[in-house]
Structure 1
Amino acid sequence: MERFTPDYPEMIVPVGHVEPVPRRIRGYAGNLPVFDTVRARYVWLWPGYPQYCVPREDIRDGALLDEGRTMALRVGRARRHTLRLGSLTRPGAAWEWADDVPGVAGCVSFRWEAIDAWFEEDEQVFVHPRSPYTRVDALRSGRGVRVMLDGAVLADAPSSVMVLETGLPTRYYLDRVYIDWTRMQPTDTVTSCPYKGNTSGYWSVTTDTATYPDLAWAYDFPTRQVAPIAGLVAFYNERVDLYLDGHLLPRPSGVTRAIWEQQHRV
């Protein structure tokens, strides 16, 4: 089988990489502050995005209960902790890095879901920390985009807004007037992205031979960094035939979609 060669920049951050976080990081659970630090560190447990590491002394007194369990993580050992705030108890919410883990010894990382609200400075962050090595650009393009599946034309647009995100295929966001809505059925699916925000719509697609679930999506109210995509619709490159200026693009591998779903919390 021919190996798919991506036409976009790959993630390059190695597992175990540690860097300072030049932002104030705060976390809340049960409407109570859990930590507040300007000395956080990033650590990469996988190349896609980092975890925050919070110095133990910047965590609310008594909020962590050592469970007496050691965890073997990809970059070293850590002790598992329960988060306890009054009547709120969340087992396995955090882990404190061992003294022999370079760069993050004495720091604590939290499961994202164990903290109800994360903030970088005064702006809330969703899904996972934003990687300082990930760039997301939304560029208007006059190159025509045609989307087909099973021989049916789903969209045929003279232009698009291209979203170029480090480590992922280029996504082509199209004006709705160029989409064949007779083949689109709305679904209840919602996904979130730390770089783009929360989706406002997902659609399944029906061709003459099959129905394909959740093939397209839109952000009606995206983050300001990608404001040009507001109200436009994109299709999964991995699951459709996408032509750019009349040239059929190779479908990205299934691995890229798995990475996309991990980063966007489908």
Structure 2
Amino acid sequence: MPRPGAFGSNTYTSSCPVLAQAQRQHLLVLFYRTNTHASFSLADLASYLLTNGPRKVYSASRRVRVIHNRTIIVDTTKAMHVWEHDAYPQFYFPLSELKNCSKRDTQLVRSDGVARAAVVEVTIPSRNGIKETKTDRVIRFTDDKSLGALSGLVRLEFGAMDQWLEEDVPVYVHPKDPFKRIDILPSSRPVEVRVAGKTVAKATSSVHLHETGLPTRYYISAGAVDPTVLRKSSLITKCPYKGDAEYYDVVVDGKQHHDLVWYYRLPTHESAGIAGLLCFYNEKVDILVDGQLLERPQTHFG
């Protein structure tokens, strides 16, 4: 069980740096080793949080709604951002905010021999021709003061629900991090891109996208890129801050560099300034801005 008050300061960090790093890696492996929301154990996650606590907890201070099977099962202004790992938060909320459904514990999760959490099956009853539906991708924490900020909260698996809304705006991919932002700055500085020593793009201006925790990305017009090197890729990735990204491979001297370029055909409102522009991975190509060669950043995209 976490020490009393471990979550009360809104932040939990192990006093041992090695242990703290191991904790983070454990959760990252748990969440990212597969791509399906049903592929990891909610009981393991609950047990981990009971033992180690979340990384951080912060009031969402907005109206959050959850819709499943055409039924609003949560409509609350009491949601919390809970960081289970360092990458981004999830929405948690008081169990009392779960409406229009029935709840049944399917697996108790114990800490120090005491049941302090449970995996829950939620049933939305049939109505007006809509068939009954069930989901067991739910965790609840008991109303136990020793759990600090987690006390009495419930977690609905984001991908298992049909739709989430912040105020009247759909939540895309996962909840946004309130401490992360994007700045989009048009620039008259020229940009040149080289792949395997060959210049494949030259632009007299660009759009610089600054995203918290990531390298600056340089977006340029499609006309500034040599079209003979581009090959359409089947890859599509999703970002809650920017939208759906489509990709190109780049072929230079007979060698195909996979998924090296991306663009957003219909970006989110906040990222409208990069619509249709192309961007190269700084980590994998040489980029010159105003004639100066940039150092390749070291990230997990490299």
User: Which TM-score tier does this pair reach, normalised by the shorter chain?
Assistant: 0.7 to 0.9
Partner of 1:94: 138
CA, structure 1 residues 55+197, in 2 after alignment: closer, same or farther (shift >3 Å)? same
In the alignment, which residue of structure 1 is the partner of 2:287? 242
Three-state SS of the structure 2 residue aligned to 1:189 is strand
Matches within 5 A, 1:42-191: 42-70=81-109, 78-86=117-125, 87-91=132-136, 93-98=137-142, 99=144, 100-191=146-237
**How far, CA to CA, are the matches of 1:162 and 1:71 in structure 2?**
49
State the shift of 1:114 in Å.
0.9
Contact 1:13–1:47 under 8 Å retained in 2: no
Q: Is the 8 A contact 1:13 1:44 kept in 2?
A: no
- The unaligned stretches of length 5 or more in structure 1 are 1-11, 259-266
Output one character per residue of 1:49-72: Cα deviation in whole Å (capped at 9) or x when no partner.
Answer: 211111111112544332214288
Q: Which has the higher helix share?
A: 2
Structure 2 residue matching 1:221: 3-state secondary structure: coil
5+ residue gaps, structure 2, are 1-10, 14-53, 126-131
Task: Classify 1:205/1:108 alpha carbon distance in 2 versus 1 (closer, same or farther; 3 Å).
Answer: same
* Structure 2 contact 73–99 (Cα < 8 Å) conserved: yes
Amino acid across the alignment from 1:81: V
Number of residues paired by the alignment?
Answer: 240
Map of 1:3 onto structure 2: none
Displacement after TM superposition at 1:16 (Å): 2.7
Distance in 2 (CA, whole Å) between partners of 1:173 and 1:13 is 37
Match of 2:36 in 1: none
Superposed CA offset, 1:110-165 (max 9, x none):
22111111100011011111111001011101122111111222211121111101
CA displacement at 1:209 relative to structure 2:
4.2
SS in 1 for 2:149: coil
Following the alignment from structure 1 to structure 2, what is the Cα–Cα distance between the partners of residues 19 and 226? Answer: 25
- 1:29 corresponds to: 68
The match for 1:8 is none
CA distance in 2, matches of 1:164, 1:56: 38
TM-score by length of 1: 0.83
Q: Which residue of 1 aligns with 2:25?
A: none
Who is 2:129 aligned against?
none
- Partner secondary structure for residue 188 of structure 1: strand
Structure 1: which 4+ aligned runs deviate by more than 4 Å? 12-15
Distance verdict in 2 for CA 1:233–1:83, change over 3 Å: farther
Does the 8 A contact of 2:100 with 2:124 survive in 1?
no
Amino acid at match of 2:80: R
Q: Secondary structure at the match of 2:236?
A: coil
The answer to whether the 8 A contact 1:34-1:63 is kept is no
What are the Cα deviations for residues 155-187 of structure 1, in whole angstroms up to 9, with x where unaligned? 111211111010111111101110011111112
Per the alignment, residue 228 of structure 1 pairs with 273
**SS class of match (2:120):** strand
Letter of the 2:269 partner, please give it.
R
CA–CA distance in 1 between the matches of 2:175 and 2:270? 16
Give the aligned CA root-mean-square deviation in angstroms.
2.2
Q: Whose radius of gyration is greater, 1 or 2?
A: 2
- Normalization by structure 2: what TM-score? 0.73
% identical equivalent positions: 36
8 Å CA contact retained: 1:150, 1:209: no
* Other structure's SS at 1:226 match: helix
1:18 aligns with 2:57: yes
Aligned letter for 1:239?
K
